[in-house]
Amino acid sequence: MTAASLSASPRNLRLRANALWLAAPAIAFLIVFFLIPVGRLLFLSVQGDTGNLTAEHYSRLLHTEVYWRILIITFRIAGLTAFFSLLLGYPLAYWLSQLRENRRNQMLLLVLVPFWTSYLVKAFAWMLLLGNQGVLNRLLGGAGIIDGPLPLMYNEFGVIVGMVHAMMPLAVLTMMPVMSGIDTRLSQAAGTLGANGAHRFWMVYFPLSIPGMAAGGLLTFITSLGFFIVPAFLGGRQQTMLAQLIIIQVQELVNWAFAGVLATMLLVSALIACWIYNHLFGLASLSAGNSTTDKTSSAWTRRFGFAILEKLAWATSAVTNRFAGKSRGRLLPAYVALIVFFLVVPTLMVIPIAFTSSDFLEFPPPGYSTRWFSLYFNSPIWISATVRSFGVAFATAIAATVIGGFAALAIARSRSRFGGVVFAFMLAPMIVPRIVIAVGLFYLFAQMGLVATNLGLVIGHTVLSIPFTFVAIAAVLKGYDWRLDQAAASLGAGRFQVLRLITVPLIRGGVISAFLFAFVTSFDELTIAIFVSGGLKSTLPKQMWDDMILQLNPTLAAVSVVVLVIVTAILLVADRLRR
Amino acid sequence: MVNVDTTNVQPKLKISGLGKRYGEVVALEPTDLTVDAGEFVTLLGPSGSGKTTLLQMISGLTEPTTGTLHVDGRDETATPVHRRDMGLVFQHYALFPHMTVGENIAFPLKMRGTPASEVRERVRETLAKVQLEQYGDRFPRELSGGQQQRVALARCFVYRPQVVLMDEPLGALDKNLREHMQFEIKRLHREFGTTVIYVTHDQEEALVLSDRICLMNHARVEQIGTPREIYSRPKSIFSARFIGLSNLFVGKVSDAGDGRIVVANSNGSFEARQENCGPLVNGKAGLVLRPEQLRPGPAGAGENDITGTVTEIIYVGSDTRLVLTLQDGETLSVRHDPAATLPALGDSLTYHWPIDVAVVVS
Ligand SMILES: Nc1ncnc2c1ncn2[C@@H]1O[C@H](COP(=O)(O)OP(=O)(O)O)[C@@H](O)[C@H]1O
Ligand SMILES: [Mg+2]
């Protein structure tokens, strides 16, 4: 490798192998608050009343048709969501990847802000848009295009629209780095070799972007599998998903065993998806962005794939040749504008409605006032929820940054063969559906007396945030030149001085953005909060959830605006610091 | 013969006033260049001098701001890149990582709708030409740098483009491999009879390969000529310095009559022929002397002479160079006559040269 590692002394070598110990706090934390609770929950599904092993709960699943239906619907919705998120997001990711780096970082905010916008706020916005008395039906009715209201909500259409809106940013953010990593000279080379635009895309660019699509598809699929917010508000009875069923089992029926069965189904599905992905592409490319497409695919499937791509290329050239040359160049920007509009504008609709003078959620508002904001600021319930969310988010951010940061340092410095295992373990909370972690933690906390405590919330949120802080800090450390540390040491700096004067200043941007991402993750978090907080100990998202289930009202719009402003401000700060 | 076949007279490439600017930045001033069929022309210059820009405009990857490009007399300025019958070899090869070596080489043929059986035949033939018969099913990353370079060449030559453009194709290889590949490129050029435009910043490479060199600096063409012309008759200080080792005496120029001029500075005054003198700017100029043009001998033995103290003796394998320090502290490089005994540091030596060899530039 580098000259530095060649010249490493034996003592140095031992130090580097031992660097893996820096990950010990993270490993211990995740074992206690992630591995054990999830394992316990899964075990409940095969445990009888007397503690004996039994399959009775599974046979109940097998013999109840409605559960099968829910399982199928869950897969169907997750599959459609992943499909449309990729299909609609691909051109946007492509467009972003073609921009120059500076401009790309600016434009990326158009995806990052929707990505970090609270799912609750997004669902709320879609309810305002899609309802029978919603913005769309009124606009269409007002223009005389339709007679009665269109059924846009409480059906599969509403769920898919809401889910794709929620998941597409994730798909774009996963695909984009792979795409911008594709060497532009390859397309140029194809051009000089006689390939027109269609051939350059289908035969060179597209196959090289497949690892990004696969990673994006995997992440959106498994996130959708365990999702409940959008189907709860935008779906009807027919669109009940597995996660909703788990909530019902735990909260209303207190049937832990059956909740365990459903959690197992969910987890196994996610793991199968990961296994397929790993088999085809290798999990490493999820974070690293460089992968080997053709590692396992046999010569035969490759040839078949190329034949299809070649046909697609000829077909595309036949079609595009009919268009005039000029309008072709404007197609992509026009499409991108449309998609960004879809991502950004629905959420922004909340703002005028928050300032309505009416008692109802009308659009456009009949008049403007700040009464809903003063209601919010004068409500002890909302304010205490907001303060609690801030406190919990702050504590979570510190805990997750420290724990995840040391784990990242361990991976970066260690050359132990266990590095890969630790790496996968740190990312595991991202792969296991949140609802499974939440229910598992609820069970554990009930025994430890941590339900309805701030500590419980912080622990749960830290579990969810560690993958983010770990990846963010690992990314800056990966690009960090350790020879600078050695240079400083050779110039006479002690260990602590090296850390204080060289390492930390150079990776500060990554650490601060990890902190802020953990903060936003916790500030927005609902799944764990649904179980672990409640009553007087509610967080802001939990309070919103309760209110939205009870009755939509303009206060919710005001709260949404507050959340939007806070999250956007934090993101802008994080973005500044990243450069 | 009265009827001259016009295709023989017409240059393969005719570049007229081709220029490029990016906003305020001038990447290439309007440039003229003609290249004959089968010729090997090198664009040589320091990095940032506009070589890539010129090459990319010829290939069609970059749109020129001004000027035209004619190929065989046809205006191709606006032809899109994939319809120009040109091959481009990239510095880092730009092999398609998801295709095997064979598929890479087949790609340009497929784009031209060549029948499958013929594709197979041509790929095999070309692989043999670059000695890579066994490697058709490998992926590019499974090959060494030199092998990848040969694949890039094969992919370019397989469809027999009329013009092949190469942008520092050997830049990533080590010295030995580079010399070997220079030989291969020359061979392919000869075998296919292709017109080649080659970019490099390495003057030795340019001297070895080229029929003609187009020397570039600061987004302009500095001088065009055969390697010999540029070496022995540089037109500017830049040309003299960039190619080969040269000694330069900068001084005041005056006319000595009889077709001779004199360049004078504190080391003495030296004569040169008027015809070896380029256009001068405000009376100042540099006299260019190549080390091998200087002969040792007593003062007055030749038409011009100069004396200095030996301050450095450099052994470079094939011969030995001496560095003399002159009166005013300037240095002079000379070649040590292998037959003579080696001087010691601090010895005072005199060298002389005939009036015909020196060139005066500004
Ligand atoms: N896309 C571009 N945008 C702005 N300036 C450019 C661009 N491409 C090249 N230049 C500038 O044009 C000049 C010539 O570049 P180039 O042709 O690449 O030089 P060379 O190949 O001789 O090193 C350089 O000063 C470079 O900075
Ligand atoms: Mg260049």
CATH code: domain of residue A545: 1.10.3720.10
Q: Do the domain assignments include residue B8?
A: no
- Residue range A294-306: average pLDDT? 68
Question: What sign does the CA torsion over B84, B90, B96, B101 have?
Answer: positive
Same-domain check for residues B306 and B355: yes
Are A52 and A450 a contacting pair, CB within 8 Å? no
Cα A509–Cα A511–Cα A515 angle in degrees, nearest 5: 115
Going by alpha carbons, the residue nearest to atom 18 of ligand 1 is B52
One-letter identity of residue B91: Q
* Chain A residues with CB-CB distance to B61 below 8 A: 188, 191-192
Same-domain check for residues B84 and B194: yes
Same-domain check for residues B33 and B146: yes
Phi-psi region of B298 (alpha: psi -120 to 50; beta: other; left: phi over 0): beta
Question: Is pLDDT larger for residue A363 or for residue A560?
Answer: A560
Q: Count how many domains chain B has.
A: 2
Q: Do the domain assignments include residue A453?
A: yes
Q: Is it true that the peptide bond before B296 is cis, omega within 30 degrees of 0?
A: no
Q: Name the domain boundary from B211, B232, B253.
A: B232
* Chain B residues with CB-CB distance to A299 below 8 A: 137
> What local confidence, expressed as pLDDT, does residue B42 receive?
96
Q: Do the domain assignments include residue A195?
A: no
Provide the residue-wise pLDDT of chain B in tens; the chain has 362 residues: 444 444 557 899 999 999 999 999 999 999 999 999 999 999 999 999 999 999 999 999 999 999 999 999 999 999 988 888 899 998 888 999 888 999 999 999 998 889 999 999 999 999 998 889 999 999 998 999 889 989 999 999 998 898 999 999 988 788 888 888 899 899 889 988 899 999 999 998 999 999 999 999 999 999 999 999 998 888 888 888 888 888 888 888 887 777 788 888 888 888 888 777 776 666 678 888 888 888 888 877 667 888 889 998 988 877 888 999 988 888 888 988 888 888 889 888 888 888 888 888 87
Candidate from A189, A293, A294 with C-beta closest to B94: A189
Helices A504-524 + A454-478 axis angle, to 10: 140
Confidence of residue A576 (pLDDT cuts 50, 70, 90): confident
> What local confidence, expressed as pLDDT, does residue A327 receive?
62
> What local confidence, expressed as pLDDT, does residue B18 receive?
95
Report the distance separating Cα A503 and Cα A241, nearest Å.
Answer: 47
A318 has a chain B CB within 8 A of its CB: no
pLDDT in tens, B257-293: 777 888 888 888 888 887 777 766 666 788 888 888 8
- Whether the predicted pLDDT of A92 surpasses 60: yes
> What local confidence, expressed as pLDDT, does residue A118 receive?
85
Q: Do the domain assignments include residue B266?
A: yes
Q: Could you list the beta-strand ranges (E) of A390-499.
A: none
**Domain housing B180:** 13-232
Going by alpha carbons, the residue nearest to atom 3 of ligand 1 is B22
Same-domain check for residues B219 and B328: no
**Domain housing A516:** 15-40+377-579
pLDDT in tens, A229-262: 889 888 888 888 888 888 888 888 878 888 888 8
Q: Locate tokens 């500590």: which residue?
A: A455
Same-domain check for residues B166 and B205: yes
- Whether the predicted pLDDT of A287 surpasses 50: no
How far A185 CA lies from chain B's nearest CA (Å)? 6
Q: Do the domain assignments include residue A196?
A: no
> What local confidence, expressed as pLDDT, does residue B8 receive?
56
Tell me which residue of A237, A113, A120, A114 sits closest to A552, measured CA to CA.
A120
Same-domain check for residues B329 and B192: no
pLDDT in tens, A301-331: 778 888 888 889 888 888 877 765 656 677 8
Ligand 1 pocket by Cβ (under 6 Å): B 22, 25, 27, 45, 47-53
CATH code of B85's domain: 3.40.50.300
Same-domain check for residues B107 and B203: yes
User: How many CB atoms neighbour CB A155 within 10 A?
Assistant: 15
Q: Count how many domains chain A has.
A: 1
Q: Do the domain assignments include residue A553?
A: yes
The predicted complex's ipTM stands at 0.78
DSSP assignments along A170-183, one per residue: HHHHHHHHHHHTS-
> What local confidence, expressed as pLDDT, does residue B58 receive?
94
Q: Name the domain boundary from B232, B257, B282.
A: B232
Q: Do the domain assignments include residue A113?
A: no
> What local confidence, expressed as pLDDT, does residue A298 receive?
64
What lies within 8 Å, CB to CB, of A265 at 6+ separation is A61, A71, A242
> What local confidence, expressed as pLDDT, does residue B282 receive?
64
What DSSP state is assigned to residue A163? H
Same-domain check for residues B129 and B219: yes
How far A479 CA lies from chain B's nearest CA (Å)? 22
Cβ <8 Å between B61 and A191: yes
Q: Do the domain assignments include residue B3?
A: no
Rg (CA), chain A: 25
- Residue range A178-188: average pLDDT? 90
- Residue range A95-99: average pLDDT? 90
Cα A530–Cα A463–Cα A223 angle in degrees, nearest 5: 65
Are A137 and A131 a contacting pair, CB within 8 Å? yes
> What local confidence, expressed as pLDDT, does residue A83 receive?
95
Confidence of residue A159 (pLDDT cuts 50, 70, 90): very high
- Residue range A474-491: average pLDDT? 82
Report the distance separating Cα A161 and Cα A153, nearest Å.
Answer: 9
> What local confidence, expressed as pLDDT, does residue A290 receive?
40
Are B289 and B357 a contacting pair, CB within 8 Å? yes
CATH code of B266's domain: 2.40.50.140
Report the distance separating Cα A210 and Cα A119, nearest Å.
Answer: 28
User: How many CB atoms neighbour CB A339 within 10 A?
Assistant: 18
Q: Name the domain boundary from B232, B261, B280.
A: B232
Q: Do the domain assignments include residue B198?
A: yes
Are B214 and B33 a contacting pair, CB within 8 Å? yes
DSSP assignments along A32-78, one per residue: IIIIHHHHHHHHHTTB-TTS-B--HHHHHHHH-HHHHHHHHHHHHHH
